[in-house]
Amino acid sequence: MFITAFVAVALLQASIVWSSAFDDAGVIAPGGRPSERPNHAIAPYKTGKPLVPSPERNKTCIIQSHGNGLDDSDHILSAIHECNPGGHVVFQKNQTYTVGTALDLTFLRSIDLDIQGTIVFSNDTDYWQANSFNQTFQNATTFFQLGGSDVNVYGGGTLDGNGQVWYDLYAEDIYILRPILFGTIGLHGGRIEDLNLRYSPQWYNLVANSSNVVFSNIDIAGGSRSKNPAKNTDGWDTYRSSHIVIQNSHIDNGDDCVSFKPNSTDIVVQNLICNGSHGISVGSLGQYIGEVDIVKNIYVYNITLSNATSGARIKVWPGISSALSGDLQGGGGSGAVSNITYDGMKISNVDYAIEITQCYGQKNRTLCEQFPSNLTISSVNLRNFYGKTSEKYDPLVGSLICSSPSVCGNITISDVNVTSPSGTNLYECGNIDGIDKMVDCMEK
């Protein structure tokens, strides 16, 4: 069952040490000192809507761990309830907190969560499949959901998703529900900064139904230690969210570095180092019949990408149902992609520098063209790319394939100096008017 406020009061005294708890010398106890709020500058680009500064907090709650791997969810929730609103909650340095209960934290107001220690989610896969929070899109679930207003999370600590057990379980059953490590759900005004995210079972971050949130100085890493790979470990996925900044971070993962899912608008992604990813992706979109997917006003700046499948990628399902895999299928949805800019990308050993497709999940290109996408692509600008692709598609350095020129156009590519290992700069092209004037298209 989910821990609720009813449990919090009874457990309060056991879980919290106040900021007034000093040692005999009158100095705050070691490990319980609050961090200074970082507030990294949002630069060089902003979303156009200023983030309202957070006021000083007026209370401090310091969480004690049970230790010995016991579930600390009761102590965590008690401290948060006591310091919400207006307080500062400290996860102490050099302490490990185990979370074995789904935490609904969507009630937060004017609070700082100062994670100096390590939070580890339990490896009880049966419990989490039954009790994690269903986020409706693509069977996404989360260990916890953090939302509300004026929330800051920082401290230099670590969240560990205990992913290995999930990687091995997914290899046996692709239909299991693997929780996302960090769920920013319904947060309006907040900053997530100076954190280490490790071994997520699936995506590392889902930002859903949120606005005016900044992610800065986030370090993401964690692969499989067995023969079973860590799959679908996107760095960030935004969904039904606006005015989001993701910046100044290092991502070492096995899927999209950042992915803009349906109804992501007014988003800036800048100054990232991505290794082992599937690139910075718009989509996938148009997956569900009857759904209208909008992605617009996206600015991606100064990205370093290495050992990846794609650099800049836009992926849209066709107008007919198709299946990419057993647990990922769809097509026939509608919507629009517009005003998308990729400005500055350094690539190394990337399969495709640029990939645009309206045939996502459909291997039969003839069938895709017979049933063009119901989702349009327009006003896309890609510029200032340089580097070298991998050998995988040599002599090609990119793929630019739409289902029909009537639903895909106004795409501009300039100052892209990317070559294949053999020295070519050819693209696979199809159904985009004027593309052959901007890039060298391989003859069919």
Alpha carbon distance 245, 178 (integer Å) = 26
SS3 83: helix
278 is annotated as an active-site residue: yes
Alpha carbon distance 37, 34 (integer Å) = 9
Residues 6+ apart with CB under 8 A from 81: 5, 8, 9, 12
Alpha carbon distance 223, 55 (integer Å) = 39
Spatial contact of 210 and 200, defined as CB atoms under 8 Å apart: no
Residues 6+ apart with CB under 8 A from 287: 138, 293, 317, 330, 331, 333
Spatial contact of 179 and 218, defined as CB atoms under 8 Å apart: no
Residues 6+ apart with CB under 8 A from 190: 149, 150, 151, 152, 153, 184, 212, 213, 214
Alpha carbon distance 185, 282 (integer Å) = 20
How many CA atoms are closer than 13 Å to the CA of 435, on its beta-carbon side? 25
DSSP for residue 117: S
Spatial contact of 95 and 117, defined as CB atoms under 8 Å apart: yes
State the burial class of residue 338 (Cβ atoms within 10 Å of its Cβ: 0-12, 13-18, 19+): middle
The residue from 81, 88, 243, 278 that is catalytic is 278
Spatial contact of 407 and 433, defined as CB atoms under 8 Å apart: no
Residues annotated as catalytic are 278
